Amino acid sequence: MNRDIVFEACVDSVESALAAQDGGAHRVELCSDLLEGGLTPSFGMLQVARASLRIPIMVMIRPRGGDFLYADREFRAMLHDVAMAKDAGAAGVVFGFLEPDGTVDATRTRELCDLARPLSVTFHRAFDMTRDPFEALEALAKFGVDRILTSGQEATVIEGLDLIASLVGRAQDRLVVMPGGGITERNVARVAAIPGIREIHFGGGAPVESGMAFRNGRVFMGGVLRPAEYARDVQRPEAVAELVRAAWEGR
Protein backbone atom coordinates (compact mmCIF):
# COMPACT_ATOMS: atom_id res chain seq x y z
CA MET A 1 0.00 0.00 0.00
CA ASN A 2 1.18 3.52 -0.87
CA ARG A 3 2.16 5.37 2.30
CA ASP A 4 2.40 8.64 0.39
CA ILE A 5 -1.40 8.92 0.12
CA VAL A 6 -2.71 12.48 0.49
CA PHE A 7 -5.71 12.77 2.83
CA GLU A 8 -8.14 15.59 1.98
CA ALA A 9 -10.78 16.58 4.55
CA CYS A 10 -14.07 18.13 3.45
CA VAL A 11 -14.95 20.93 5.89
CA ASP A 12 -17.49 23.74 6.16
CA SER A 13 -15.88 25.94 8.81
CA VAL A 14 -12.49 27.28 9.81
CA GLU A 15 -12.85 25.41 13.10
CA SER A 16 -13.23 22.09 11.27
CA ALA A 17 -10.39 22.97 8.90
CA LEU A 18 -8.03 23.54 11.83
CA ALA A 19 -9.18 20.30 13.47
CA ALA A 20 -8.50 18.41 10.22
CA GLN A 21 -5.04 19.93 10.02
CA ASP A 22 -4.29 19.07 13.65
CA GLY A 23 -5.46 15.50 13.06
CA GLY A 24 -3.08 14.94 10.15
CA ALA A 25 -5.04 15.88 7.02
CA HIS A 26 -2.76 17.06 4.23
CA ARG A 27 -5.32 19.31 2.53
CA VAL A 28 -8.86 20.59 3.02
CA GLU A 29 -11.74 21.13 0.66
CA LEU A 30 -13.49 24.23 2.00
CA CYS A 31 -17.24 24.46 1.43
CA SER A 32 -20.37 25.89 2.92
CA ASP A 33 -23.65 24.01 3.44
CA LEU A 34 -22.57 20.38 3.47
CA LEU A 35 -26.25 19.49 3.84
CA GLU A 36 -26.46 20.37 0.12
CA GLY A 37 -23.30 18.42 -0.66
CA GLY A 38 -21.12 21.54 -0.40
CA LEU A 39 -21.50 25.03 -1.83
CA THR A 40 -19.06 27.91 -2.39
CA PRO A 41 -17.75 29.32 0.91
CA SER A 42 -17.81 33.04 1.57
CA PHE A 43 -14.82 35.18 0.71
CA GLY A 44 -14.48 36.05 4.40
CA MET A 45 -14.36 32.40 5.46
CA LEU A 46 -11.77 31.65 2.79
CA GLN A 47 -9.56 34.57 3.83
CA VAL A 48 -9.66 33.58 7.50
CA ALA A 49 -8.98 29.94 6.65
CA ARG A 50 -6.02 30.87 4.48
CA ALA A 51 -4.59 33.01 7.28
CA SER A 52 -5.11 30.24 9.85
CA LEU A 53 -3.96 27.08 8.05
CA ARG A 54 -0.58 25.71 7.06
CA ILE A 55 -2.03 23.11 4.68
CA PRO A 56 -3.46 23.82 1.20
CA ILE A 57 -7.11 24.77 0.63
CA MET A 58 -9.24 23.55 -2.26
CA VAL A 59 -12.30 25.78 -2.71
CA MET A 60 -15.70 24.44 -3.73
CA ILE A 61 -17.15 26.39 -6.68
CA ARG A 62 -20.84 25.53 -6.64
CA PRO A 63 -23.48 28.27 -6.50
CA ARG A 64 -26.44 26.11 -5.46
CA GLY A 65 -27.55 22.62 -4.61
CA GLY A 66 -29.24 20.26 -7.01
CA ASP A 67 -28.00 19.22 -10.43
CA PHE A 68 -24.89 20.34 -12.32
CA LEU A 69 -26.65 21.93 -15.28
CA TYR A 70 -26.14 25.63 -14.66
CA ALA A 71 -27.84 28.70 -16.12
CA ASP A 72 -25.67 31.41 -17.72
CA ARG A 73 -25.94 33.71 -14.70
CA GLU A 74 -24.93 30.88 -12.39
CA PHE A 75 -21.92 30.16 -14.57
CA ARG A 76 -20.90 33.83 -14.48
CA ALA A 77 -21.08 33.71 -10.69
CA MET A 78 -18.77 30.69 -10.75
CA LEU A 79 -16.25 32.59 -12.87
CA HIS A 80 -16.17 35.33 -10.24
CA ASP A 81 -15.82 32.75 -7.46
CA VAL A 82 -12.79 31.18 -9.15
CA ALA A 83 -11.18 34.62 -9.34
CA MET A 84 -12.00 35.10 -5.64
CA ALA A 85 -10.32 31.82 -4.76
CA LYS A 86 -7.18 32.79 -6.66
CA ASP A 87 -7.06 36.22 -5.01
CA ALA A 88 -7.42 34.66 -1.55
CA GLY A 89 -4.48 32.29 -2.04
CA ALA A 90 -6.30 29.00 -2.49
CA ALA A 91 -4.33 26.02 -3.75
CA GLY A 92 -7.09 24.89 -6.07
CA VAL A 93 -10.75 24.85 -7.00
CA VAL A 94 -13.40 22.13 -7.16
CA PHE A 95 -16.27 22.18 -9.67
CA GLY A 96 -18.27 20.10 -12.14
CA PHE A 97 -20.45 20.73 -15.20
CA LEU A 98 -22.72 18.34 -17.05
CA GLU A 99 -24.73 18.44 -20.25
CA PRO A 100 -28.41 17.39 -20.20
CA ASP A 101 -27.46 14.01 -21.71
CA GLY A 102 -25.15 13.16 -18.79
CA THR A 103 -21.86 13.93 -20.52
CA VAL A 104 -19.25 16.38 -19.25
CA ASP A 105 -19.84 19.98 -20.38
CA ALA A 106 -16.62 20.43 -22.34
CA THR A 107 -16.91 24.17 -23.01
CA ARG A 108 -17.49 25.26 -19.43
CA THR A 109 -15.01 22.77 -17.98
CA ARG A 110 -12.27 24.05 -20.29
CA GLU A 111 -13.12 27.69 -19.53
CA LEU A 112 -12.98 27.27 -15.77
CA CYS A 113 -9.82 25.16 -16.00
CA ASP A 114 -8.12 27.88 -18.04
CA LEU A 115 -9.28 30.61 -15.65
CA ALA A 116 -8.19 28.66 -12.58
CA ARG A 117 -4.60 28.02 -13.66
CA PRO A 118 -2.06 27.77 -12.17
CA LEU A 119 -4.29 26.46 -9.36
CA SER A 120 -5.05 22.75 -9.11
CA VAL A 121 -8.42 21.63 -10.49
CA THR A 122 -10.71 18.90 -9.14
CA PHE A 123 -13.83 17.73 -10.99
CA HIS A 124 -16.15 16.82 -8.13
CA ARG A 125 -18.85 14.18 -7.76
CA ALA A 126 -20.79 15.53 -10.70
CA PHE A 127 -18.64 12.77 -12.20
CA ASP A 128 -20.85 10.25 -10.39
CA MET A 129 -23.86 11.55 -12.34
CA THR A 130 -22.30 10.98 -15.79
CA ARG A 131 -23.79 8.38 -18.13
CA ASP A 132 -20.46 6.67 -18.83
CA PRO A 133 -17.64 7.04 -16.29
CA PHE A 134 -14.89 5.97 -18.69
CA GLU A 135 -16.08 8.39 -21.36
CA ALA A 136 -16.11 11.13 -18.71
CA LEU A 137 -12.64 10.22 -17.47
CA GLU A 138 -11.20 10.42 -20.99
CA ALA A 139 -12.81 13.82 -21.54
CA LEU A 140 -11.50 15.21 -18.25
CA ALA A 141 -8.00 13.89 -18.88
CA LYS A 142 -8.04 15.66 -22.24
CA PHE A 143 -9.12 18.93 -20.60
CA GLY A 144 -6.20 18.78 -18.16
CA VAL A 145 -8.21 18.29 -14.95
CA ASP A 146 -5.87 17.26 -12.13
CA ARG A 147 -8.19 14.93 -10.24
CA ILE A 148 -11.66 13.41 -10.15
CA LEU A 149 -13.56 12.99 -6.89
CA THR A 150 -15.80 9.93 -7.07
CA SER A 151 -17.68 7.36 -5.04
CA GLY A 152 -17.59 5.01 -8.00
CA GLN A 153 -21.07 6.13 -9.10
CA GLU A 154 -22.61 4.51 -6.04
CA ALA A 155 -23.98 5.84 -2.76
CA THR A 156 -20.68 5.08 -0.99
CA VAL A 157 -17.11 4.34 -1.97
CA ILE A 158 -17.33 0.79 -0.63
CA GLU A 159 -20.20 0.00 -3.01
CA GLY A 160 -18.29 1.64 -5.87
CA LEU A 161 -14.91 0.08 -5.06
CA ASP A 162 -14.66 -2.06 -8.21
CA LEU A 163 -15.37 0.86 -10.54
CA ILE A 164 -12.91 3.06 -8.66
CA ALA A 165 -10.20 0.44 -9.10
CA SER A 166 -10.97 0.27 -12.83
CA LEU A 167 -10.88 4.06 -13.13
CA VAL A 168 -7.52 4.25 -11.35
CA GLY A 169 -6.14 1.70 -13.78
CA ARG A 170 -7.52 3.57 -16.78
CA ALA A 171 -6.29 6.98 -15.57
CA GLN A 172 -2.69 5.88 -14.99
CA ASP A 173 -0.62 9.05 -14.49
CA ARG A 174 -2.88 11.35 -16.52
CA LEU A 175 -4.94 12.44 -13.51
CA VAL A 176 -5.71 11.38 -9.95
CA VAL A 177 -8.83 9.36 -9.17
CA MET A 178 -9.66 10.37 -5.59
CA PRO A 179 -12.21 8.19 -3.76
CA GLY A 180 -14.68 10.02 -1.55
CA GLY A 181 -18.11 9.34 -0.09
CA GLY A 182 -18.80 7.41 3.10
CA ILE A 183 -15.17 6.83 4.06
CA THR A 184 -14.64 6.13 7.77
CA GLU A 185 -11.90 4.71 9.96
CA ARG A 186 -13.67 1.32 9.65
CA ASN A 187 -13.41 1.07 5.86
CA VAL A 188 -10.57 3.39 4.83
CA ALA A 189 -8.00 0.58 4.74
CA ARG A 190 -9.98 -1.14 1.96
CA VAL A 191 -9.87 2.07 -0.06
CA ALA A 192 -6.19 2.70 0.61
CA ALA A 193 -5.40 -0.86 -0.53
CA ILE A 194 -6.57 -0.20 -4.11
CA PRO A 195 -3.43 -0.31 -6.30
CA GLY A 196 -2.52 3.15 -7.54
CA ILE A 197 -4.57 5.15 -5.00
CA ARG A 198 -2.77 8.44 -4.36
CA GLU A 199 -5.40 10.58 -2.60
CA ILE A 200 -8.41 9.98 -0.34
CA HIS A 201 -11.24 12.42 0.43
CA PHE A 202 -13.25 12.15 3.64
CA GLY A 203 -15.81 14.14 5.61
CA GLY A 204 -17.25 13.44 9.01
CA GLY A 205 -17.60 15.45 12.16
CA ALA A 206 -19.44 15.17 15.45
CA PRO A 207 -22.41 17.21 16.71
CA VAL A 208 -21.48 20.20 18.86
CA GLU A 209 -24.13 21.95 20.92
CA SER A 210 -24.73 25.65 20.44
CA GLY A 211 -23.64 28.06 23.15
CA MET A 212 -27.05 29.72 23.11
CA ALA A 213 -28.71 29.76 26.54
CA PHE A 214 -31.99 31.19 25.24
CA ARG A 215 -33.57 29.01 22.56
CA ASN A 216 -36.75 29.65 20.61
CA GLY A 217 -38.00 26.22 19.59
CA ARG A 218 -40.80 27.64 17.44
CA VAL A 219 -38.50 29.10 14.76
CA PHE A 220 -36.11 27.47 12.31
CA MET A 221 -33.89 29.28 9.81
CA GLY A 222 -34.16 26.70 7.04
CA GLY A 223 -36.37 24.23 5.18
CA VAL A 224 -38.55 21.38 6.33
CA LEU A 225 -35.83 18.72 6.17
CA ARG A 226 -33.43 20.29 8.58
CA PRO A 227 -30.54 19.82 10.98
CA ALA A 228 -30.88 20.74 14.63
CA GLU A 229 -31.10 24.52 15.06
CA TYR A 230 -28.86 24.54 18.13
CA ALA A 231 -26.20 22.04 17.09
CA ARG A 232 -23.74 21.65 14.22
CA ASP A 233 -21.23 19.08 13.04
CA VAL A 234 -17.58 19.94 13.65
CA GLN A 235 -14.55 17.90 12.64
CA ARG A 236 -12.44 16.50 15.51
CA PRO A 237 -8.62 16.15 15.34
CA GLU A 238 -8.70 12.75 17.02
CA ALA A 239 -11.23 11.43 14.49
CA VAL A 240 -9.04 12.56 11.59
CA ALA A 241 -5.96 11.04 13.21
CA GLU A 242 -7.82 7.76 13.73
CA LEU A 243 -8.90 7.63 10.08
CA VAL A 244 -5.37 8.25 8.80
CA ARG A 245 -3.96 5.69 11.25
CA ALA A 246 -6.59 3.13 10.25
CA ALA A 247 -5.54 3.44 6.62
CA TRP A 248 -2.09 2.12 7.53
CA GLU A 249 -2.94 -0.30 10.31
CA GLY A 250 -5.84 -2.00 8.55
CA ARG A 251 -3.58 -4.08 6.34
Model confidence over 112-167: pLDDT tens digits? 999 999 999 999 999 999 999 999 999 999 999 999 999 999 999 999 999 999 99
Q: Which residues contact 173 (CB under 8 A, 6 or more apart)?
A: none
Domains of the chain: 6-209 (3.20.20.380)
**CA atoms in the 13 A half-sphere facing the CB of 190:** 15
CA distance 152 to 154: 5
The alpha-helical segments, DSSP class H, found in 88-218 are 106-116, 133-143, 161-171, 188-192
Q: What is the mean pLDDT of residues 3-15?
A: 93
Q: What is the mean pLDDT of residues 80-107?
A: 97
Q: Give one word for 5, left, alpha or beta, with left for phi > 0 and alpha for psi -120 to 50.
A: beta
Specify the DSSP class assigned to residue 190.
Answer: H
CA angle 135–146–109, rounded 5-degree value: 60
pLDDT bin (cut points 50, 70, 90) of residue 223 is: low
Q: Give yes or no for residue 224 having a pLDDT over 70.
A: no
pTM, 2 dp: 0.90
In the predicted model, what is the mean pLDDT of the chain?
93
- Contacts from 152-160 at CB under 8 Å and sequence distance 24+? 152/128, 152/179, 153/127, 153/128, 154/128, 154/181, 155/181, 155/182, 156/181, 156/182, 157/181, 157/182, 157/183, 157/187, 157/191, 158/182, 158/187, 158/190, 158/191
The alpha-helical segments, DSSP class H, found in 53-104 are 72-87
Contact 53, 88 (CB under 8 A): no
Q: Give yes or no for residue 99 having a pLDDT over 90.
A: yes
